[in-house]
Structure 1
């Protein structure tokens, strides 16, 4: 079973449904994982997506915040969600594909603006969330699995526009990078994007604050595709659809793609 997946923080699935439709028409990945849907599940425009060839939907939602969804051309089975750090947020959902692969779709907390849990509760929640991800992977070692999503951390020096200037900026601080690395190591996850594109600067997010995001190019790679070692070798063709950041009324994230021959 060969398939291509895309992961995309859509920043409101209802507001940006036309962008999802554009992705479906022009790129047509087999599976689309969305984060920050900001919608109850029943208000996701499922009929529109169904008409474009994506009849299968598994999602977790809440009004105005968070939310994750998996849209698929092929049948998928809901395998539940985890509420790490007991936040009560819709930040994770898992599905099983027809070939038995379990696909985890994550939206890790952003962590606020100040990288100090003593004065910023949200930063503490982010670290706790990552610690519980790590412990889960230690306790229930994943096999034949893929993990995607907005993990809200750019781990490598070349995953940000300026390593030196972002060391004290939430999403690239050493404590966050270490926490994400510990979660990755606990599941022996392989970073598929960097397996395919091992060198060079690579971004999936550009701030709305930049007047000309493309010219400034002050990006970060916050969106990831990981796989367990038993299937990582089947992955190929990773790419980031940078052009989507320039679509009309865009998300500040761009879709990240990977293909698997399983």
Structure 2
């Protein structure tokens, strides 16, 4: 049974409930993974999501910060969470579908503004978080799994608007790219988005600071959708819904989609 999955950093699920509902109603993914929900789990507007057909949810939350949730039309069971780098943050949750596929939803730390852990604790936390992700996947060797989320790194030169200008900016520095690559290698993850869209500039985030984000188009591909090799061949139809960045009271991220024929 094929299903379509989307991942979206919503930047407050309660504040942006209307555009979450718009996405659900207009585009109808079977599963929607949200990051930066900024809400305790019991405050997530589950009634309106259930009314739209999404009666299943697995989530981890905290007041005002972080938070991850998986909304689904399909039955889900909670598959746990990990607190990498011992930050005490709600940054990961996993759920398992009835067909045995496990979905990992991540919100990797942004890392602050200075790419030097000696002067910026947040950057060190980001690198430590990625290192522990790597080690966990290296040990667990996941199968039949999908990994999605705001990983806060744009790894390729064509995942940012200007590689030369961005190479010293947090989210695109070589050390971050190397750490993310190690996570990907540890789980043999396939970058489904770039497998389906292998060439050209591709973004999922545009800063609020740009008065006209669409015309300036200084984007970064921070949001990712990966799969293990045993199911990667079943994935297709990847796309980024750029238009959602222009909706009323938008997130600064756009949803990323893929369909799996499983």
TM-score range, shorter chain: over 0.9
Measured against aligned partners, the alpha-carbon deviations of 1:29-56 in whole angstroms (never above 9, x if no partner) come to: 0000000000000000000000000000
Offset from partner CA, 1:66-107 (integer Å, 9 cap, x none) = 000000001000010000000000000000011100000000
Query: 2: distance between equivalents of 1:99 and 1:31?
Result: 14
The answer to whether the aligner puts 1:182 opposite 2:200 as a matched pair is no
CA distance in 2, matches of 1:98, 1:168: 44
CA distance in 2 between counterparts of 1:161 and 1:53 reads 37
CA-to-aligned-CA distance 1:138-180 (integer Å, 9 cap, x gap): 1110101000000000000000000000001000000000000
- Map of 2:258 onto structure 1: 258
Correspondence 1:229-244 to 2 at 5 A: 229-244=229-244
Task: Report deviation, 1:116.
Answer: 0.2
What is the number of equivalent residue pairs in this alignment?
262
TM-score by length of 1: 1.00
Q: For structure 1, list consecutive stretches of 5 or more residues without a partner in the other structure.
A: none
Runs of 4+ in 1 over 4 A off after TM superposition: none
* Structure 2: tracts of 5 or more residues without a match: none
Give the match for residue 196 of structure 1. Answer: 196
Match of 2:132 in 1: 132
2:16 is the alignment partner of 1:16: yes
Trace 1:2-151 onto structure 2 (pairs within 5 A). Answer: 2-151=2-151
TM-score in terms of structure 2 length: 1.00
| 3-state SS in 1 of match to 2:59 | strand
